Amino acid sequence: MLNQCDILDEKEKILREKSVPVTFPLSSEDLSTINEMIMYLRLSQDEEYAEKNNIRAGMGLSAIQLGIKKRYFVISYKNEDGTFEEYKVINPKIVSNSEELIYVEEGEGCLSVNRYVEGIVPRYARITVEYYDEHGEKQTVRVREEIAVAFQHEIDHLNGILFVDKIDKKNPFKNKESMRAI
């Protein structure tokens, strides 16, 4: 079972490396890792469990954050009704995006960045992503708002980019007025 200490801290150099494409069929090890990642995210969003086990809530996790240099990530988003919207995303590619830019009003976070970082991260409000599921089946999904932010955040991880890199160092709220807060 994954735990907080399995997730690499931003100081780890591997997080700055570009992940490599995955070939199919997936190894049993990769399938197991993907399922553990989903379970970790689900549990991290259970306030009681997270507090008891001292873990931070997260909705996305990339293989590279576990030291696995492969192009896959998972997203587990807890809906208001307690159900989860989940994605197992392998070899993703953004094929289109909206012109509208958004940012997370309370600030973007990351399970590998264990500190509060002030500033806005410009993200597309809507994106269309092509990827493969864990069975090697090609998928196309159009995501918006929080899920779109999560997809872009995780795809950045696969390219060695952390959200803190996207915040303007001199002016952390640069162009805020030209984007919509979510």
User: Is 47 a catalytic site residue?
Assistant: no
Question: Exposed e or buried b for every residue in 75-86, given b needs 16+ CB within 10 A?
Answer: bbbbeeeeeeee
C-alpha–C-alpha distance, residues 70 and 47, integer Å: 30
Cα distance between residue 1 and residue 43, in whole Å: 11
Q: Would you state the structure tokens that stand for residue 165, as one six-digit string?
A: 């890199």
Active-site annotation holder among 80, 134, 154, 177: 154
Distance CA 102, CA 122 (A): 6
Within 50-132, strands assigned E span: 60-62, 72-78, 84-97, 101-103, 123-124, 126-132
Q: Give, as one character, the DSSP assignment of residue 8.
A: P
Active site residues: 154
